[in-house]
Structure 1
Amino acid sequence: MANPFDQFDAPRAANPFDRFDAPAATPVAADKPAAAPRYDAAGDVGGGIVTGLVNGVTGFLGIPGLIQQADGYLGGRVLDALGFPNAAEKVRNVPFLPTPESLTGHVEKVTGPLYQPETVPGQYARTAAEFAPGALIGPGGVVRKAAETVVPAVLSETAGQATKGTQAEPYARLMAAIAGNVGTAAVAARADAPARALGTAAGRVTPAQFDQAEALAETGQRIGVPLTGPEALQQVTNNGTKLADVQRFVEGSPQSAVLSEMMAARPG
């Protein structure tokens, strides 16, 4: 807007109060339409999976480099605090093993920048693919590996979407992933508990001892004294296993009605 002294301006000359004029309003540009995504939903998911697999592999292979880098950083801080700056500098300049970032950089020199998914399904697919390499090399069958991939990935990406663009996002992703991994491991451990308990209790029973126990159980069945598997193994191994302890525990459980009835009827 003009100031009231503009009426005294000489032709083609300004007055000294012109510096107080408010700046002229600049026209507001119309909002630009959002750029169309490069791929459709299926292509975005596929690109996210490829990027996630690359990130997962480089992340796994780069773990030693991350540990070494952290050790060098902490060692340098300690030497600085002790008054040895030259030694601290040498520690920081020790050649480090490849880190996930450096490995990804090598991949991108060949492939170009990795595709970054633009849709939410694509971002979930990328995160799930990042967890897949680590789950594949772990213990367990297909169902367990799938759970260890999907559950932490979904929780991590959901937390990331909820805190997107904030300083809390990386921490939320990390904590959600840890919670998913811990929860999945707890469920898997509970499901595997019976098999692990039997395996531990049986110890090193040889195939020959199993055959002897089977023959003893058949003999007991013929003479009217049915023996359980743990009892037969205990007999032929001279109490060399803990299977009888497991049997007593199961027998006392409310869910073992069949075993309890058999043991109660045997004295007769």
Structure 2
Amino acid sequence: MSVKSAQRVLEIFELLTQYPQGLTVKEISEFLDLPQSSTFNLVKTLYENNYLTQGELKKYKLGPKLIHIGASARESLDIHSVGVPHLKLLMEQVQETVFLAVLSKNEIVYIAKIDSNRSIRTSAQPGYRKPLYCTGLGKAFLTFMPRNEQKKYLDNTEFVKFTKKTITDRKLLKEQLDMFEHLGYAFDDEENEEGLYCLAAPIYGVDGMMIAAISVAGPKERMLARKEKIINHLLITSNKISAGLGYTNQKNTQFGGATWM
């Protein structure tokens, strides 16, 4: 689809938000001053993909697929606004780079990054996507997602080595995920980028489902030297963000002498 066509699709969506009763193809083309033939083709494609629905008198309305997209966008924005203040504090506490990511199909998408004054180079940036099986954030999602979804992912994913430490053996990865479930957090040990060690924890929404993950990442030696302290701050922060999103079914967790609630 060309940029021009994409612009027209957006104009159709914006127009139909103003007419909940729906509009015909002719009405849409007249409102937007577009050729009726090209408007028909765009509307037909959107309808076939459930972005539009057709009511009486062949009038098109916004479709059910947009509900899911809108809900996901709203959820991401809520996570961002609630999470970033906590992430900034976490960065100050641990003096390492802090990330926030959400799940998109079989990948993570970074939606926030808080750099410290001694951050190291990393390919991870807001908007970037990475695999689940070789990132701390991704393995947090794998650990705490429903077991049937986890199994489906493990059964259908081609594991590619990014570094010499990337785990590509399904059995070994499953054993690690089981360990993470017991620990309450996940990590990757130079599995996506050489020299980078990452600790990650889940974020839960009001319905008790995991909706995001946060992580602390830095040079391996520096991270391991303060691992217990970083994990404590990480878990406390993930718990506070979850609470800010309405999650209440939380258990007290003891790690290294600290309690997060």
TM-score by length of 1: 0.24
Choose 1 or 2 for highest CA Rg: 1
Flag the structure with higher helix content.
1
TM-score by length of 2: 0.25
